[in-house]
Amino acid sequence: MSLPGRPTSACNTCRRKKVKCDQTTPRCRRCLSKGLRCEGYAGNTKLDTKFVIRSSSGSSCPSYPAAGSPVPSIAVSLEHQAIPRFFSDYVHCGSSPGVPGGHLYFLYELFDDDDEVTPYLSEALTATAYASLANQLNLESLRIKARLVYGRSLTLVNQALGNASEAIKDATLGTIILFGLYEFIMNDGSKPYLWDVHHNGRMLLLQLRGSGQLNTSRGQAMFRMVYMTMQSAYLVKYWYPPKDIVFPELLNEGALPKVGFPMDRSLANPVTRVIRLCATTIDLLRHSGSRPILHELQNVVQEAALADVELLQWKKNAPIAWKYKSVTVTPLQRAQLPEAFPNWLKQFEIYADFRMAWIWNFHRSVRLLLHHAVLCCLNRLKSSPDWSQLCTLPDFSWDAHAEVVAAMVDEICGSVPFSLGQIVAETALNALILGLAPLGGYLALYPLHCARTRGRLNDRKFDYVNGVLRLIRDGLGIKHAQNILDWPFVIAISGFSEPRRVALL
């Protein structure tokens, strides 16, 4: 089944091979994902060039007008352009050999599988695509259509969840994953709980689907994506990780080539450990009035040191193809979009693709929250009669933990120009300016939120992060950025000077 809103004819390569074509223009993504040369389309209606991928020095980047710009004259309706543009903006198959990138690429396989093409999946895709295009072009009429289609999809998937065989389908989990993205793109803050509702639904589906979901590369990719989302949410919300959902040993050995995210037990396990430590820290500090906690806080600090060693070991063992490089950007390049470049940094990181930038920023966010939690412990331990001895130990060095927090913030900010599509390296020292990148901006929201709320930012850095969030909100149409901007406090450590309204732990 072809994707809704796409041209009706297969590309010449798929037609010659007599296989299903995903019908993406200007080149079929099915061909690209399999390393084939797509021969293009013969006689098909072409989308307006402002709504398709353009190539630049061998790289791809979506090109589109800024939010609020007049809608260009087009030969194809906006509704029919929305889905191809959504795939260009958010669906990524991975770009480099040896680099397990990719984002939502399982959608191609779902729509190639007649058993998985369900009305609720099609409606969820359409709603999310409409929402993205509507926000980028600031078109209320298309937003209204997005909400209507979204409502239909919610009704259909709720009906499907009542059927045991339908509930465990990949299409059902894929639909709930799209709902989460829809809420990030569309949510104006009026119903902030909806993302949590969909998150809870994804977690229940993982349990319901059981070990059978890991029998295919598609099932593995979807599990990894939901597991990553779970860890991100539990970490930043200080929730204890669920004991009944663990990263399977099966995915650690002999994983199939097309993985959605370079996560294995060497990273999943220390991250789970950090999540538990952070939740324990906040729990101890919030209930410290009822019992003595100094000894327990000392244990947290010592265990945090061991967890950080594991995180650093993962970084050391990362394959060369996953590593990032630093580039110097000229003043002229900065001037093209100055709000994307932190002005206190001289060099910026480039990565194999947006997903690889995200995994490094996830790693940084985990370390940031871990060392922030340790600082909270140390602040309370200052009242301990043993503090004069403790503070001489490496694990209890205030300055060492504060330096890690500052370094993680700078590294996250240094990745922003790449994530926003402003630089891509041809060599280690040459940077090329591209256009705004929705996928990179979307994936940058989580680390920016962590930096903003736990990073001990001075006014200059705080203003920079806010400027990037406004750019993602207005230039890319991802409204969740406004929710982060509206976040009323930073998670402060008593004793730090905070220039903004804070919630003290």
Tens digits of per-residue pLDDT, 118-151?
999 999 999 999 999 999 999 999 999 999 999 9
Distance CA 473, CA 178 (A): 19
Domain check: are 204 and 276 in the same one?
no
Residue 495 lies in a domain: yes
Distance CA 13, CA 31 (A): 8
Structure tokens at 249: 């040993």
Domain check: are 88 and 15 in the same one?
no
Domain check: are 309 and 450 in the same one?
yes
Residue 2 lies in a domain: yes
pTM score, two decimals?
0.80
Those residues with Cβ within 8 angstroms of residue 421's Cβ, 6 or more apart along the chain or in another chain: 61, 434, 435, 436, 437, 440
How do beta strands 502-504 and 490-492 pair?
A: parallel
Distance CA 66, CA 69 (A): 6
Residue 250 lies in a domain: no
Distance CA 496, CA 250 (A): 45
Give residue-wise pLDDT tens across range 324-347: 998 888 888 788 788 899 999 989
Mean pLDDT along residues 287-301: 79
Domain check: are 388 and 492 in the same one?
yes
The pLDDT value recorded for residue 301 is 95
How many domains does the chain fold into? 3
Residue 247 lies in a domain: no
Domain check: are 32 and 56 in the same one?
no
Domain check: are 149 and 270 in the same one?
no
Give residue-wise pLDDT tens across range 159-168: 999 998 998 8
Distance CA 215, CA 244 (A): 19
Domain that holds residue 21: 1-46
504: which strand partners?
A: 492
Q: What is the mean pLDDT of the chain?
A: 79
**Which pLDDT band, with edges at 50, 70 and 90, does 371 fall under?**
very high
Domain check: are 186 and 286 in the same one?
no
At residue 176, what is the residue type? I
DSSP structure string for 213-237? GGSSHHHHHHHHHHHHHHHHHHHHH
Q: Give the three-class secondary structure for 425.
A: strand
Residue 415 pLDDT exceeds 70: yes
Domain check: are 42 and 62 in the same one?
no
